[in-house]
């Protein structure tokens, strides 16, 4: 079955891996890339997205989106994870393509109106574009099929603070708006993404399977591996962002649990995603919150095979 998706992204090394994975798989039809600040400033995210499309030979719209959190000052960026260029400092030549003139949020709304009920928005960066799209078109939840995000940490610790994951922490107010909308929301957070470490051998295999796209990910990820391998006995990295796409292709790779989800916006707990599973609270603050499907288990072996096989196609 083919899935029409919009990928909302802040490339980013694991974003690049996820984008190529989506481009490669015959069941995924990427209508466009919408970009957002996060790992890098939004201008760089947009330029990087154009470069990735060019490398993959994909002629699809790339839009620039929000560059600031919903509330508060400009964010800091994750250059220490993704490099000064977002691609692990490999000095990859930037492509010259043009941006679509629409904002990311406007593109999301336009596509949702064009294909009512057909599109899954896959958001793998902070959620400002989605929050803005909800403001532009309050009927958006009725127009899209579902929203799948990489973000949050439901039953595990965070990666920016003890309670918060980077994408949600980066724009907690926007995330609260997205979690508060009445749509099917599927969350792939650190519960599953940190449970699936990838070795340097995986990267070598990815390059062998696809010299151009796998080779790019392999080269860019060397910096990323160094970051993730600090204070560990083995070299590893984590491809967080590809998981919501893998779920669309093969839902049987994951176990999901459904609960009422909330995002904290107070300074200390900023970006905490808390899930009330059924019969765990009588608090109306929770029971009135929207439902979220949270991935809590993943089959690492079959997921790894899916990535490698798809890069080979």
Q: What are the φ and ψ backbone dihedral angles of 222, each rounded to 5 degrees?
A: -60, -45
Please pick, among 3, 240, 247, 260, the residue that the annotation labels catalytic: 240
CB nearer to ligand BDR: pick between 66 and 143: 66
**Nearest approach, Cβ of residue 190 and ligand BDR (Å):** 7
Q: Is 12 in the site for ligand BDR (CB under 6 A)?
A: yes
Q: Is 165 in the site for ligand BDR (CB under 6 A)?
A: yes
- Which tokens sit at 254? 């994951």
Which residues of this chain interact with Ca ion, rule CB under 5 A? 10, 12, 15, 124-125, 241
Contacts of 190 (CB under 8 A, 6+ apart): 152, 153, 156, 157, 158, 159, 165, 240
- Which tokens sit at 40? 């890098």
CB nearer to Ca ion: pick between 28 and 124: 124
Count other Cβ atoms within 10 Å, centred on residue 142.
Answer: 12
Q: Is 186 in the site for ligand BDR (CB under 6 A)?
A: no
Q: Is 159 in the site for ligand BDR (CB under 6 A)?
A: yes
Range 78-117, binding ligand BDR (CB under 6 A): 78, 81
Q: Where are the beta strands (DSSP E) in 28-170?
A: 28-35, 62-63, 119-123, 146-150
Count other Cβ atoms within 10 Å, centred on residue 139.
Answer: 12
Report the relative pairing of strands 62-63 and 291-298 from DSSP bridges: unpaired
Angstrom distance (rounded) from CA 7 to CA 19: 8
CB nearer to Ca ion: pick between 143 and 223: 223
- Angle (deg, nearest 10), helices 300-312 and 13-24: 70
Q: Is 44 in the site for ligand BDR (CB under 6 A)?
A: no
User: Which residue of the chain is nearest ligand BDR when measured via CB?
Assistant: 166
The 229-268 contact track toward ligand BDR, x by CB under 6 A, reads -----------xx---------------------------
Known catalytic residue at 240: yes
Residues in the chain: 313
**Nearest approach, Cβ of residue 71 and ligand BDR (Å):** 20
Q: Is 134 in the site for ligand BDR (CB under 6 A)?
A: no
CB nearer to Ca ion: pick between 14 and 100: 14
* DSSP code at position 99: P
| Footprint on this chain of ligand BDR (rule: CB under 6 A) | 12, 14-15, 39, 78, 81, 124-125, 150, 159, 165-167, 240-241
Q: Indicate which residues carry an active-site annotation.
A: 240
């Amino acid at each position: 079955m083919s899935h029409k998706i919009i990928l909302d992204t802040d490339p980013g090394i694991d974003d690049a891996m996820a984008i190529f994975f989506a481009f490669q798989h015959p069941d995924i039809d990427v209508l466009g890339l919408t970009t957002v600040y996060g790992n890098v400033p939004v201008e760089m995210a947009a330029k990087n997205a154009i470069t990735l499309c060019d490398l993959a030979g994909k002629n699809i719209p790339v839009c620039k989106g929000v560059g600031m959190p919903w509330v508060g000052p400009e964010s800091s960026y994750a250059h220490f994870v993704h490099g000064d260029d977002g691609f692990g400092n490999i000095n990859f030549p930037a492509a010259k393509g043009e941006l679509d003139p629409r904002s990311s949020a406007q593109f999301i709304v336009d596509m949702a109106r064009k294909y009512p009920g057909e599109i899954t928005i896959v958001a793998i960066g902070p959620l400002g574009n989605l929050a803005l799209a909800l403001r532009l078109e309050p009927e958006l939840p009725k127009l899209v099929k579902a929203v799948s995000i990489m973000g949050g940490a439901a039953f595990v610790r965070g990666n920016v603070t003890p309670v918060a994951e980077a994408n949600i922490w980066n724009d907690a107010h926007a995330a609260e708006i997205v979690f508060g909308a009445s749509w099917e929301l599927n969350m792939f957070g650190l519960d599953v993404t940190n449970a699936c470490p990838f070795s340097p051998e995986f990267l070598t295999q990815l390059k062998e399977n696809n010299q151009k796209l796998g080779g790019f990910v392999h080269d860019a990820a060397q910096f990323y591996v160094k970051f993730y391998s600090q204070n560990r006995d083995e070299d590893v990295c984590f491809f967080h962002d590809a998981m919501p796409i893998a779920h669309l292709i093969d839902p049987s790779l994951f176990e999901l649990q459904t609960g009422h989800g909330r995002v904290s916006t107070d300074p200390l707990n900023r970006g905490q995603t808390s899930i009330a599973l059924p019969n765990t609270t009588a608090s109306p603050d929770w029971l009135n919150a929207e439902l979220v499907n949270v991935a809590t288990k993943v089959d690492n072996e079959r997921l790894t095979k899916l990535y490698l096989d798809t890069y080979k196609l």
